[in-house]
Amino acid sequence: MTPPAAPESSRSAAMTRPLIERFRDRLPVTEATPIVSLGEGSTPLLAAPRLAEAAGVRELWLKWEASNPTGSYKDRGMTLAVSKALEDGAEAVICASTGNTAASAAAYATRAGLPALVLTPQGAVSGAKLAQTRMLGATVLEVRGDFDEALSAAQELGRRGTHALVNSLNPNRRAGQKTAVFEVVEELGGPPDGFALPYGGGGNTSSYAQALAELGLATPLVSVEAVDRRATLATAIRIGDPVHAPAVERSGARVVSATDDELVDAWRLLASSEGLFCEPSSAAGLVAVLRGDVEGDRVVVTITGHGLKDPAAADRFAPAPTVVEPDPDAIAGAARGATRRDAP
């Protein structure tokens, strides 16, 4: 099945330059690879001066991966995984997911005209991510089990050949995810002193390490996992048995862990100080920087997914609104105390 032909003016049915086009020479594609794109990659690299001050570093940059089309960094790898699946004649894709891979697989499979089968651990995935994935046309099966069990089942169906596996075990996913590092190094005009990012299954950490190796860089990588991997409130990284642990270990990345309290504090600080609302897991890299685990004057923290991915978590921690009459004096009275912050 081939998607409808792109208009003459673009090769990929998108005016925004697809990630595969931007990094074509460094990705496993040929002229024959059909490009399935939703305008992923080329995400903002934002200075975070208030957080830099809080962390005691000169420059803190945030790689805002929430700007990807489905709201998380997964789209970088998914554009490649689904394009290659299409090229290889796959008839369907499958993944196990804590929610973001699910939404990304659903979106790119739909774009490619392929069915997507998504396995999620029952009761452990944000409702918004499930709704997004369902809306995008995937078949969602909630597995009575955890993420690791769902992934084993997805791998087996991949082996049987009925579905192309689009988890980060798929090397095309990891190849696509390397591009975040390429972008950062290009935009900063050189490597930062360190990168920090969350560690769930470890696919992204091993992709970053691979990208640095390809660039001939030895930039330190700090990968932050939840202390309580199996029960963290950051459901995106609720993974007991990270499948890429051996690769993460080989990569030389420094693995540190964060408590849920630390994750929540960093997550709220990012929102309240810099105006950036991510999901709780996405603040993991920030925990390491705030704690002084990432050395150097110029550090880059990858913020992996948007806050609207998990509104229930925000609802739990953000201040509740006050109910007022539609009366200006009552409103002015209720608003007293809300003061302006000076720009840095």
Q: Which residues bind ligand F0G (CB under 6 A)?
A: 72, 74, 97-101, 168, 198-205, 236-237, 239, 279, 281-282, 304-305
Q: How far is the CB of 272 from ligand F0G (least distance, A)?
A: 20
Q: How far is the CB of 97 from ligand F0G (least distance, A)?
A: 3
Q: How far is the CB of 145 from ligand F0G (least distance, A)?
A: 14
Q: How far is the CB of 70 from ligand F0G (least distance, A)?
A: 10
Strand partners, 117: 94, 139
DSSP string, 145-201: S-HHHHHHHHHHHHHHTSSEE-STTSHHHHHHHTHHHHHHHHHHTS--SEEEEE-SS
Q: How far is the CB of 296 from ligand F0G (least distance, A)?
A: 22
Rounded-to-integer distance, Cα 22 and Cα 75, Å: 14
In the Cβ-directed half-sphere of 44, how many Cα atoms lie within 13 Å? 9
Cβ proximity to ligand F0G: between 12 and 67 the closer is: 67
Strand order in the sheet with 221-226: 45-47, 59-64, 298-303, 194-198, 221-226, 254-258
Cβ proximity to ligand F0G: between 14 and 300 the closer is: 300
- Calculate the alpha carbon distances from 217 to 199, 208, 211 in Å: 21, 11, 9
Rounded-to-integer distance, Cα 282 and Cα 266, Å: 10
Cβ proximity to ligand F0G: between 41 and 198 the closer is: 198
Handedness of CA 180, 185, 189, 194 (dihedral sign): positive
Contact at 8 Å (CB) between 173 and 182?
Answer: no
Residue whose CB is nearest to ligand F0G in the complex, by number: 200
Cβ proximity to ligand F0G: between 14 and 75 the closer is: 75
Cβ proximity to ligand F0G: between 194 and 202 the closer is: 202
Cβ proximity to ligand F0G: between 35 and 224 the closer is: 224
Q: How far is the CB of 251 from ligand F0G (least distance, A)?
A: 12
Query: Tokens standing for 124?
Result: 């452990």
Cβ proximity to ligand F0G: between 111 and 129 the closer is: 129
* DSSP class of 97: -
Q: How far is the CB of 310 from ligand F0G (least distance, A)?
A: 9
